[in-house]
Chains A and B, each alone.
Chain A
Amino acid sequence: MQKDKFFKAESNVVHPNETLVKTHCAYCGMQCGMNLRVNVATNKIIGVEPRYDWPVTVGKMCPKGVTAYQQTNHDDRILKPLIRDDASLKGTKEGFREASWNEAYDLIANKFRELQVKYGKDSLSVFSGVSMTNEKCYLTGKFARVALGTRYIDYNGRFCMSSAAGGFLRSFGVDRGSTLPWTDIHETDCLFIAGSNTAECHPTSMFRVWNVQERGGYIIVADPRETPIARRADVHLDLKPGTDLALANGILNLLIQNGYADEEFINNHTNGFEETKELVKEFTPEYTSELTGVASKKIIRAAEIYGKSPNAVVMFARGIEQQHKGVDNVSGYTNLALVTGKIGRPKSGVATFTGQGNGQGGREHGQKADLLPGYRKITNPEHVAEVCKVWKITPEEMPQPGVSAYEMFELMEQKTIRGLYLLCSNPAVSAPNLNFVRTSMKNLDFMVCSDFYLSESAEFADVILPSVTWSEDEGTVTNLEGRIIKINKAQEPIGESKPDWQIQVELAERLGKGKYFSHLKTAKDVADEFRLASKGGNADYYGATWDKIDKQDGVFWPCKDENDMGTPHMFLDKKFYHADGKAKICALPYRPPAEEPDEKYPLRLTTGRVVYHYLSGNQTRRIQFLRDMCPEPYVEVHPETAKKYNMDHEDKVRLYTRRGEAIYKVKITEAIRKDTVFVPYHFGHEQSINLLTIAALDPISRMPEFKVCAAQMEKVEIKKVQ
C-alpha cells in the first residue's frame, strides 16, 4: 500500500544466531518501522536493524528509535512487584520491598474494596496513558468501568491530543488526526505548519517535508522559536506564544479578502462561513501583527502562498493545542482548509502530529472520562447500550462520565478520590502545576503504579507492579496517520513482569469480576473483543484484523468489515461526519493567554521537547546515548534578553512563576523571540519545568496551557573566571 518514490527494496543484515522481528518504535506517533535483532540462543533483544520495507518511514529512525531496544533488558527494569509499608516515605524512592504477585494482588484488592465500602465506588480512580497498544487502552477503560465500577478514569492524552480531538470533532464531526496518509505529504505544494517542532519531535517526517521545497513548493512555519524547520521555511511566522488564534483569524481574513475562498465548496459542504467571515474582518494584517508580534508583510506573504497553492496541507501540534484555547486554535487553523476547499482530496488536508505512539488509537476506545470504545459517548444511551452488550453488563451498571486528568488531581486534594491505579504515565513530571499535583498524589490513601521503571510518579505509590516494555507483548497501535499497525513480541517478559492487560484480568478476578475478564487469555483475545466493541462506532476497527494489517502494511480506520480495505484519505466524497454531512467553519473570537506578562513576570515561558527525549523522560533519560546528548534541562534565552539580565551562556538562573521555581543553565540563542524563554520538559524532581506551568484548562478539551505563562528569572551564580 502506498509505496512511493522513497521506497527502495533493500535487504537487511542478519547476523549469525540472530533473527529479526519486525515491529515499530516504542515512542512517538510516527511509529517508525524497525526490526529488533534477537539472539536465538538467549531469546534476548540485542539490537536494531532498519526496516526499509515500512512504507511510511522506509528504514529511517531518530536517535530515540535507534536506541529504543536498550529499554528492554535495562538494569533499571523492575523485575518483581514492590510494596512499601511505610507511607511516610511516599514521594521518595525509599522503602520498597520485593513481594510476590499474590501478595501484591491481595493487598490491592483489599485496599480497593476497603476504600469503596467506606467512601463509595467513585473513591477509586484510574490514570492511564496512550503509549500502549489499543488492546491495553481498551481494556483499561473496561477495567475501570466494569472491574472497579468507578466513573473516574482519564489519561495523559489530556496533556497531549485532547485539543486536536476537540477541534476536529467540532470542525469535521470526527477526530482522525490526519485526513490523508503521510505518503502524500511530500507531494503537496505548501505545508502550513503551526506549533510543531517537526525536526525534533517527528524527525522522520522531515525527508518528506524537505522534499516539498526541493520540488519548488513552500513551507510556512508558525513558531516562537526558529526551530530547525523554521530555519529553512519560506516564511517563518515568529509569533508570541499563545497568540495562534489571532494569526489563524488574520490569515483567514486575507484568504477571504483576496478571493481565495472556494465558494462552491463552502456552499455545498460547510456551515458557518458568513459569521466567520464577519468575525475575522477585524483581523487586518496590522491588527494581527499587533496581537501576534509577527510583521504584517510576513502574514500577507503566508496567506498569499497558502491561497495560491493548488494543494496544501495545514499541520499543527502541541504548540497550538496545549493552550487554554487549544480547541479554538485547532478549529481556527482548520478553517483555512475548509474556506479554501483544500481538503477531501489527495495531497490536501489537515493533520496533527500525534505525540504519543498510540495517541490516536488510545484516545478513541474508552480511556477518556466520557468516552467508550469506537469513539462512543458515555452520555449517549444508545452508545452505552451497544457497549453494554459486548461487556455483558446492564446500562445501569455503566458509571457516569468522570473528569479530566488534571481535575482528577483536584478531586484527590478534596479527598473525593482516595485511591489511584496509575499506568503508562508519569504525571509527577508531565502534569502542569506540579507542586499541587505531587501533593495530591502524596495525600492519597492508596496508590498502585504499574511501570517497567521506577518513575517519579511511582515514587508516590504504595504498590508498584512490574509491567512489560512494548517489545515483550503484541497488539496494535494507531499511528499519526490513523493507520492501525501491529507491534510484535520479540522476547519473553523479563523477571516477573507482565503485560498490563494480563495484570488487569488477574486483578479483576481478585475483585470478584472474573466473569467479565477471565476469557481474555492472550493479547489476541483482547484484540478480538476490542474490535467487536468498536464496531459501529465512528472509530470502527472491526475490519482491521491482524492479518489484514500485516498484508496491507497497516489499515486506516474506519474499517468496517472483512472486505473493507480501510480509509487512507478522509472525506473524498466531501461528506463530513456532522448530521447534515457538512463541515463547520468556526467563528472564533480571540482570547489572550490565561496569564499575560506583567511587571513582576515580564517574560513568556514556553515549554517543549528535544529530539533526544520522549515525554517525561522516564524511558529516554535511562538510555546512555540519549542522556549523553541531553543530560539536563536548560533555559533558552535570546542574547539581548540575556544582556538585560546580565547573564551569560551557561550561567545558572532561577526561573520562577506564580506557581513554582527551578534552577536552569542559560543557553543563549538568537533562535528565539526576545520576550520568550523556553525550557524542555522531560526532567524530574526539582528540574521539572512543570513546577512553573499553569493549569488553565481549555473549556472543551480540558487541556492545560503548558505552552505559555508569565515568568521572571534572576541569576543565581556568577560564572567562574577561568
Chain B
Amino acid sequence: MKKRLYLELENCIGCRSCLAACTQCGGHEERNRNYVYDVNPLVNRQTMPLMCLHCVNPACARSCPAQAIQIHETGAVLSALVEKCIGCQNCTIACPYGIPKFDTEQNLMYKCDLCIDRTKNGIPPMCASVCPSNTLQWLTDEEIGNRKKQFNLDNGKWVSSLPYLESETNVKVNLPGILQGIEKLF
C-alpha cells in the first residue's frame, strides 16, 4: 500500500533527530538534506522541520536546464543526477521552500530523495522512522485521512493544510493548531 510522508508541525520538539537520521541512510554521504527551524527564537522553544514536499509538478525540476532532477515513479523528486547537473543552482532559487542544497566543491546540487533506496521498497524514510514526537510519519492515505478527520479543523478558524505555493504535493502537512479541534474527554 502506498505510503506518504506526513507532517504534524505542532508536535515538533526540536530534537533534530531527523537531521541526524538523514545522514544515516547509508546513501546520503552522511550529509543531511532537511532543516529544523526555531519558530520564535528568544521567545519560546517552538520548532518545526522544513522538508521537501515532493511536489507533483516541482519547481526545482522545471527550472533545471539540464533535466538533472528526475521524478521517481513513486513521486519522489530525486537529487540531481551527478552526470547531468551543471551546477547552475537554478533549482535552489526556484524552490519556494529553499530545499535544494548546493555542494560548491563538487559543483553539485543535492536534496531529499525521500530515502528512495528505502521507500521504493516500502521501507519508511530515516527521518520519519526516528522522529520521537511523530511530527514526521509514514502513513497510508487512509491513515492520513483519519488523522485529518480526528483533528476536525473545518471550523472556519483553522485549516489543516494550505493550498501550497506549488499546489499538489506528495508530502502532506498539518499546520500547528491541530489541537484546537480536539474535543476534551471531560
Inter-subunit contact A625/B23 (CB<8 Å): yes
8 closest Cβ pairs, A-B complex: A199-B13, A203-B132, A63-B20, A66-B20, A216-B185, A207-B134, A50-B129, A206-B133
One digit per residue, 1 when the CB lies within 8 angstroms of any chain A CB and 0 when it does not, for chain B 130-160 equals 1111100000000000000010000000000
- Picked from A15, A65, A207, A217, the residue with its CB within 8 Å of the CB of B133 is A207
A230 to B, closest residue via Cβ:
B45
Inter-subunit contact B46/A231 (CB<8 Å): yes
- Picked from A13, A62, A226, A668, the residue with its CB within 8 Å of the CB of B132 is A62
- Picked from B10, B15, B20, B42, the residue with its CB within 8 Å of the CB of A639 is B42
B42 to A, closest residue via Cβ:
A668
- Picked from B10, B15, B21, B42, the residue with its CB within 8 Å of the CB of A670 is B42
Instruction: Given A204-B132, A216-B182, A232-B10, check contact A47 B24 (CB 8 Å).
Output: yes
Residues in A whose Cβ lies below 8 Å from that of B16: 63, 611-612, 629
Please measure, in the bound complex, the distance between the C-alpha atom of A639 and the C-alpha atom of B44, giving whole angstroms: 12
| A-B contact sample (5 more), CB < 8 A, given A66-B20, A189-B185 | A206-B11, A207-B11, A216-B184, A309-B186, A611-B14
- Picked from B13, B19, B23, the residue with its CB within 8 Å of the CB of A200 is B13
Inter-subunit contact A47/B20 (CB<8 Å): no
Tell me whether A10 is interfacial, beta carbon within 8 Å.
yes
Tell me whether B26 is interfacial, beta carbon within 8 Å.
yes
Residues in A whose Cβ lies below 8 Å from that of B42: 639, 649, 668-670
One digit per residue, 1 when the CB lies within 8 angstroms of any chain B CB and 0 when it does not, for chain A 73-105 equals 000000000000000000000000000000000
Please measure, in the bound complex, the distance between the C-alpha atom of A670 and the C-alpha atom of B38, giving whole angstroms: 14
A562 to chain B, nearest CB (A): 36
Inter-subunit contact A206/B13 (CB<8 Å): yes
Tell me whether B122 is interfacial, beta carbon within 8 Å.
yes
- Picked from B10, B124, B133, B185, the residue with its CB within 8 Å of the CB of A203 is B133
Residues in B whose Cβ lies below 8 Å from that of A668: 42
- Picked from A13, A215, A217, the residue with its CB within 8 Å of the CB of B117 is A13
One digit per residue, 1 when the CB lies within 8 angstroms of any chain B CB and 0 when it does not, for chain A 51-67 equals 01000000111110111
Tell me whether A214 is interfacial, beta carbon within 8 Å.
yes
Inter-subunit contact A62/B17 (CB<8 Å): yes
Residues in A whose Cβ lies below 8 Å from that of B44: 226, 231, 669-671
Please measure, in the bound complex, the distance between the C-alpha atom of A228 and the C-alpha atom of B11, giving whole angstroms: 9
* Contacting residues of chain A (591-631) with chain B, CB-CB under 8 angstroms: 611-612, 625, 629
Residues in B whose Cβ lies below 8 Å from that of A63: 15-17, 19-20
Inter-subunit contact B132/A61 (CB<8 Å): yes
Tell me whether B82 is interfacial, beta carbon within 8 Å.
no
Tell me whether B123 is interfacial, beta carbon within 8 Å.
yes
Inter-subunit contact A218/B184 (CB<8 Å): yes
Inter-subunit contact A213/B45 (CB<8 Å): no
Tell me whether A688 is interfacial, beta carbon within 8 Å.
no
One digit per residue, 1 when the CB lies within 8 angstroms of any chain A CB and 0 when it does not, for chain B 1-43 equals 0000000001101111101110111100000000000000011
Residues in B whose Cβ lies below 8 Å from that of A43: none
**What are 9 A-B pairs with beta-carbon distances under 8 A?**
A11-B121, A48-B24, A50-B130, A63-B15, A206-B11, A211-B134, A228-B13, A625-B19, A669-B42
B23 to A, closest residue via Cβ:
A625
One digit per residue, 1 when the CB lies within 8 angstroms of any chain B CB and 0 when it does not, for chain A 27-69 equals 0000000000100000000011010100000011111011100
Tell me whether A521 is interfacial, beta carbon within 8 Å.
no
Inter-subunit contact B123/A10 (CB<8 Å): yes
Inter-subunit contact A669/B133 (CB<8 Å): no
A14 to chain B, nearest CB (A): 10
Tell me whether B179 is interfacial, beta carbon within 8 Å.
yes
Q: How large is the interface on B (under 10, 10 to 19, 20 to 34, 35 or more residues)?
A: 35 or more
Inter-subunit contact B179/A213 (CB<8 Å): yes
Which of B17, B117, B182 neighbours the largest number of chain A CB atoms within 10 Å of its CB? B17
B134 to A, closest residue via Cβ:
A207
Instruction: Given A13-B117, A213-B179, A232-B10, check contact A59 B15 (CB 8 Å).
Output: no
Tell me whether A12 is interfacial, beta carbon within 8 Å.
yes
Inter-subunit contact B185/A215 (CB<8 Å): yes
Residues in A whose Cβ lies below 8 Å from that of B24: 47-48, 66-67
A200 to chain B, nearest CB (A): 7
Residues in B whose Cβ lies below 8 Å from that of A183: none
Residues in B whose Cβ lies below 8 Å from that of A3: none
Please measure, in the bound complex, the distance between the C-alpha atom of A685 and the C-alpha atom of B122, giving whole angstroms: 48
B129 to A, closest residue via Cβ:
A50
Inter-subunit contact B15/A203 (CB<8 Å): yes
Residues in A whose Cβ lies below 8 Å from that of B133: 199, 203, 206-207, 210
* Contacting residues of chain A (649-670) with chain B, CB-CB under 8 angstroms: 649, 668-670
B31 to chain A, nearest CB (A): 11
Tell me whether A308 is interfacial, beta carbon within 8 Å.
yes
- Picked from A15, A204, A308, the residue with its CB within 8 Å of the CB of B26 is A15
Instruction: Given A61-B130, A66-B130, A210-B11, check contact A226 B183 (CB 8 Å).
Output: no
Tell me whether B72 is interfacial, beta carbon within 8 Å.
no
Residues in A whose Cβ lies below 8 Å from that of B183: 216
Tell me whether A227 is interfacial, beta carbon within 8 Å.
yes
Instruction: Given A67-B20, A206-B132, A670-B43, check contact A11 B14 (CB 8 Å).
Output: no
Please measure, in the bound complex, the distance between the C-alpha atom of A214 and the C-alpha atom of B11, giving whole angstroms: 11
Inter-subunit contact A308/B130 (CB<8 Å): no
Residues in A whose Cβ lies below 8 Å from that of B45: 226-228, 231, 669, 671
Tell me whether B84 is interfacial, beta carbon within 8 Å.
no
A309 to B, closest residue via Cβ:
B186
Tell me whether B62 is interfacial, beta carbon within 8 Å.
no
Instruction: Given A189-B185, A231-B45, check contact A60 B131 (CB 8 Å).
Output: yes
Please measure, in the bound complex, the distance between the C-alpha atom of A231 and the C-alpha atom of B45, giving whole angstroms: 7
Residues in B whose Cβ lies below 8 Å from that of A11: 121-123
Residues in A whose Cβ lies below 8 Å from that of B184: 216-218
Please measure, in the bound complex, the distance between the C-alpha atom of A310 and the C-alpha atom of B179, giving whole angstroms: 21
Residues in B whose Cβ lies below 8 Å from that of A52: 124, 129
Residues in A whose Cβ lies below 8 Å from that of B20: 63, 66-67, 625
Residues in B whose Cβ lies below 8 Å from that of A199: 13-15, 133
Inter-subunit contact A12/B123 (CB<8 Å): yes
Please measure, in the bound complex, the distance between the C-alpha atom of A228 and the C-alpha atom of B130, giving whole angstroms: 18
Please measure, in the bound complex, the distance between the C-alpha atom of A353 and the C-alpha atom of B17, giving whole angstroms: 20
* Contacting residues of chain A (186-233) with chain B, CB-CB under 8 angstroms: 189, 199-200, 203-207, 210-211, 213-218, 226-229, 231-232
Inter-subunit contact A10/B124 (CB<8 Å): yes
A581 to chain B, nearest CB (A): 32
Inter-subunit contact A66/B21 (CB<8 Å): yes
Inter-subunit contact A59/B129 (CB<8 Å): yes
Residues in B whose Cβ lies below 8 Å from that of A10: 123-124, 129
Please measure, in the bound complex, the distance between the C-alpha atom of A673 and the C-alpha atom of B6, giving whole angstroms: 35
A538 to chain B, nearest CB (A): 32
Residues in A whose Cβ lies below 8 Å from that of B46: 228, 231
Please measure, in the bound complex, the distance between the C-alpha atom of A74 and the C-alpha atom of B124, giving whole angstroms: 29
Inter-subunit contact B17/A13 (CB<8 Å): no
B126 to chain A, nearest CB (A): 8
Please measure, in the bound complex, the distance between the C-alpha atom of A46 and the C-alpha atom of B110, giving whole angstroms: 23
Which of B121, B123, B150 neighbours the largest number of chain A CB atoms within 10 Å of its CB? B123
* Contacting residues of chain B (39-93) with chain A, CB-CB under 8 angstroms: 42-47
Instruction: Given A13-B26, A13-B118, A231-B45, check contact A210 B15 (CB 8 Å).
Output: no
Residues in B whose Cβ lies below 8 Å from that of A50: 124, 126, 129-130
Residues in B whose Cβ lies below 8 Å from that of A61: 17, 21, 130, 132
Please measure, in the bound complex, the distance between the C-alpha atom of A310 and the C-alpha atom of B185, giving whole angstroms: 10
Inter-subunit contact A203/B13 (CB<8 Å): yes
B132 to chain A, nearest CB (A): 4
Residues in B whose Cβ lies below 8 Å from that of A200: 13, 15
- Picked from B26, B47, B122, B124, the residue with its CB within 8 Å of the CB of A47 is B26
* Contacting residues of chain B (157-186) with chain A, CB-CB under 8 angstroms: 179, 182-186
Residues in A whose Cβ lies below 8 Å from that of B124: 10, 50, 52, 59
Inter-subunit contact A60/B123 (CB<8 Å): no
- Picked from A66, A227, A232, A309, the residue with its CB within 8 Å of the CB of B17 is A66
Inter-subunit contact A203/B26 (CB<8 Å): no
Please measure, in the bound complex, the distance between the C-alpha atom of A229 and the C-alpha atom of B123, giving whole angstroms: 30
B169 to chain A, nearest CB (A): 23
B178 to A, closest residue via Cβ:
A214
